[in-house]
Amino acid sequence: MKLADILIAILVAIIWGLAFVASRIALDEFSPELMTAMRFLIAAVPCLFVRKPKIAWSLLIAISFTLFLGQFLSQAYGIAHGVPVGLTSVVVQSQALFTIGFAALAFGERPTPVQTLGVVIAAVGLLMICGTVGYDFSVAAFGVLMIAPVSFAIGNVLLRGARGVPMFDLFAWLCLTSAVPLFALALAVDGPAPTWQAVIHMSLRGLMCLLVIGAISTSIAYWLWGRLLRDYPAAQVVPFALLVPFVGSAASSIVFGEKFGPLRLAGMLTVIGGIAVMVLVRRPHALPNTA
């Protein structure tokens, strides 16, 4: 990879890691449903200038509801209900484990022995993290959070059906398709009056956080990531995503004073180690590009 593209990949990882912190701050003002809806509404602004990609509405909605709505709503819910930001960033990246499994079921792509080892290592790490659940956050919050990597992985597999369409256009319309039902959900859960009051009385800090996670993390960063995946093999690009949980955990430690007990820290490192084995090993058949 060119030096400039390496720096872009690192920048994207940093943006995504910091977005977890921005989400946590935004959740002080907004419900998970409203924050996620606002995130995608901001990221969907390019739909005013680009046409819908030439893919079926059914596929567009399926990708949107898994890759975006399901993933980010469950993230927001978990964080809002006490799951630490650093831990959340690690759990979300475990999507690599599920992507390999779903690709095997959907396309008959059998993982290599080394990939299988990586899956086992990551699974052990998740079990170690599960052993710490219930102390500072509930089992229910962690259970909802686990929807995020599963949805992420399903979305990755569904992206196979969108080959050949412009990624920027696709992601903009995926955001719009997510924003509409999320606003309806926010109105149903929070009520019209509280939803409207939260929007018109948002603080400057809340607005800045929404712009970070909507315009920068979702729209710009995903576009840059898509460009890298277009120009280079996924095996060269995807490993940079391993920086995300480190950035997220470090930023959370600095901003919120987040600390990890020995078992949780060991579990987080084990998950990242398993993911590293999965994505760094050479494999004969490429998995779907991660978003």
Please state the domain count of the chain: 1
Range of the domain at 201: 3-280
Q: Considering the domain boundaries, does residue 12 fall inside one?
A: yes
pLDDT at 286: 45
Rounded Cα distance between 185 and 37, Å, is 9
Q: What is the pTM of this model?
A: 0.85
Are the CB atoms for 198 and 30 separated by under 8 Å? yes
Query: What is the SS3 assignment for 127?
Result: helix
**What pLDDT does 223 receive?**
82
Yes or no: say if 217 and 19 are a contact pair by the CB < 8 Å rule. yes
In the predicted model, residues of the chain with pLDDT beneath 70 are: 134-135, 230, 233-236, 281-291
In a domain, 103, yes or no: yes
The answer to whether residue 286 sits within a structural domain is: no
- pLDDT score at 289: 47
Residue 291 in any domain: the answer is no
Instruction: Give a yes or no: residue 287 inside a domain.
Output: no
Question: Dihedral sign, CA of 130, 155, 122, 13?
Answer: negative
